[in-house]
Structure 1
Amino acid sequence: MTDYAQSTLSAQRKALSRKFALGLLRPFSGMNISVRLGEIAQTVLSRWPILPQAAKPTANVSYLTVSDRAHWLMLRESLFSLHRAWNFLPKITVVSDDWWKADEFAEVFAWWSTPITVLTRQEVCQAASSAGFPELANYAQESLYGLKLAAIVTQAKKQPVLFVDADILWFRDPASLLSDPVLWDKPRALRENNCHQRREMALRHCPQVLDPPFVNSGIVALHGELMAPELLRRMVQEALPNPQDSSCEQTIIATAVKIDGELLPEKLSLVEFDDVNKFRRRDMWDEGYYSRHYVNWMRHMFYRDALKLRLRRDRLEARRSSDAACAPSTQMTQRI
């Protein structure tokens, strides 16, 4: 193993490892079996670093996400699933909440095959102010939801952006569903069956947001303007008194999609929660979904599926190694 590989493995263990809670093994603790398995999976993953990955061809799109320090493990597993599933890798940009440093992040995520761009909160706020949105800069300063919105607004003006929340796992390459980034001039986002919107905000600006199909902002594709600048200013101003309410940010994205955008293909991502407390969970491969969005009360499901992806990858690589070992050599083949 190279010094480079050893360095990132060590950095991952140091930054992400967590102690195993013995209470998870107590059968009568009252903890739901699905949650228990998720907690165990999270602990296993936290102690299982990722080796440097092989390079792949690049895609002409910026994959944008936001992460605080507490969710680095989740982000790592999300990006690993992306590297496994996508044939062409996008340029990764991660927005920091300013509670972690770029050099530490670079060590932990050095397993990724190309450099990852890090944007600071200050840089995003400055970009929002320079674009004529001081309210958006204030919103970004107050919460991660505001930071997400500001990052989408400012980055999508420069280049095709696929914003993806860190709590999403990829199971298939979505290239066929996303279309050419040149055509991303109108905002597109996911659909979901639940209405997680700020009702009074929606009624004032776009009542259609409260009608199905509902919009989920876990994935947003855009190259251009999210919405009319004056409407964006008004909605952000309304969101400022409740910066930690995720429904405000989602209502703003939903309004943009309902007014002048469209929903992404349904199979791009599953945003349903009917198996959240079940031992047997829905299978993305069997159902034909390309990804799944594990919203906050489903995080235990995220880690269960992330561990399954890792084990699946290891079994696949072991099978390839076995096939290679069993295959006749070139010299032997020529003799035959």
Structure 2
Amino acid sequence: MINTIKNSLAYRLPTLYRKLLRHKKIVVSSSKPQADLIVITMTGKKIMDMTRLSILSIARYWDNLPKLIVASDGTISTEEICKNLSFWPGELVATNWEQTEAYHLAKNRTALVNYAHGHVLGKKMAVILHYAEIEPVVWIDSDILFYGDFLKHIPPHGDFICGGSEEGYSVYDDRALNFFNNNLYDVYKFSSGLLLIYGQHIYEQFNLEELLTQLPNHDHYFTEQTIFAHMASTSAGILWSMDAIKNFNHDNQQIKPMSKNNVLGRHYTVNVRHLFWRDAFFNL
């Protein structure tokens, strides 16, 4: 009976934490120096609460502040994004989906734009490639919280780099693996939730128009991750292991918050999404 109550509370309490966090007064330091780094993420009405807290964790725990680009997924205005992130003490640029769409259409990347219209992760991939072809960027999913200075863990890079974080298990789109002739299951457990990526003409370099044209069904959840995992397998691979960016689920019914001591950050994937609100409430 006690275990049943505990398990129930583990899922019910985060709902309360989420409501309370919406009213939490945010105070962050405005005296931090600016970093020579661009961080991009994407948000929408459904995940704005999460994006807000993920970015708050950067403001709290990174020693220097990157330039922040926040792209709308089309469900939220750039004005709303800026309002929700008004606490950010560094440079903030809010962009809309139409800017990214125009960028790719000008390059005749019709299949990518179709993928973006068919699945939000296609939109994520389009946003990443848009900015990564211009200059080096770090992509951060909205379900990541930082508890340490991540900037110290970003390696130097050259004309092309793609590397990501480690997943708890291997999840890929076999159709894309077959196209690349790359059995990533034997290579690593890759997550595209956190990426360092840069390179001119990445899209053409990896023949992505041909691949996406062959994949008219955009319902597969891991197509985008598989594409970035393949890119990384030719470059930096896993840059941040699970020792650096935690990604696990054995505490999914734990009521007390995760200790942030000696933890750089955590990726709160779908199976532990409720813990995001728990840890944000106590650790931010």
TM-score > 0.5 by shorter chain: yes
2:133 to 140, 153, 157: 157
Amino acid at match of 2:230: T
Structure with the larger helix share = 1
What is the CA–CA distance in structure 2 between the aligned matches of 1:100 and 1:37, rounded to whole Å?
28
1:185 to 141, 145, 160: 160
- The structural deviation recorded for 1:100 is 1.6
- The structural deviation recorded for 1:30 is 9.3
* Equivalent position of 1:195 in the other structure: 170
User: Relative contact order (C-alpha < 8 Å, sep 6+): which is higher?
Assistant: 2
SS at match of 2:68: strand
2:123 to 127, 147, 163: 147
Structure with the larger strand share = 2
What count of residue pairs does the alignment treat as equivalent? 280
* Equivalent position of 1:295 in the other structure: 269
- The structural deviation recorded for 1:127 is 0.9
Map 1:1-336; keep pairs closer than 5 Å. Answer: 32-51=8-27, 53-180=29-156, 182-183=157-158, 185-225=160-200, 226=202, 228-242=204-218, 244-266=219-241, 267-280=243-256, 282-285=258-261, 288-310=262-284
Distance change >3 Å, CA 239–CA 59, structure 1 → 2: farther
| Contact 1:81/1:170 (8 A) holds in 2 | yes
| Contact 1:85/1:170 (8 A) holds in 2 | yes
| Contact 2:258/2:279 (8 A) holds in 1 | no
Gapped runs of 5+ residues in structure 2?
Answer: none
SS at match of 1:300: helix
What is the CA–CA distance in structure 2 between the aligned matches of 1:63 and 1:309, rounded to whole Å?
22
Q: Comparing 66-75 with 232-241, which one deviates more in the overlay?
A: 232-241
What is the CA–CA distance in structure 2 between the aligned matches of 1:283 and 1:30, rounded to whole Å?
19
Distance change >3 Å, CA 82–CA 206, structure 1 → 2: farther
Give deviations 1:183-236, integer Å, cap 9, x for gaps.
Answer: 472100111231121123323324331225211000010121446535222332
What is the CA–CA distance in structure 2 between the aligned matches of 1:275 and 1:40, rounded to whole Å?
19
| Contact 2:179/2:211 (8 A) holds in 1 | no
Percent pairwise identity: 21
SS at match of 2:70: strand
Amino acid at match of 1:229: Q
User: TM-score, structure 2 length as denominator?
Assistant: 0.89
- The structural deviation recorded for 1:265 is 2.8
Gapped runs of 5+ residues in structure 1?
Answer: 1-26, 311-336
What is the CA–CA distance in structure 1 between the aligned matches of 2:193 and 2:165, rounded to whole Å?
7
Give deviations 1:150-209, integer Å, cap 9, x for gaps.
Answer: 1111201111100000000001002221123x4472100111231121123323324331
Alpha-carbon RMSD across the aligned residues, in angstroms, is 2.3
User: TM-score, structure 1 length as denominator?
Assistant: 0.76
Amino acid at match of 2:154: L
The structure with the largest alpha-carbon Rg is 1
What is the CA–CA distance in structure 1 between the aligned matches of 2:279 and 2:126, rounded to whole Å?
30
Distance change >3 Å, CA 293–CA 51, structure 1 → 2: same
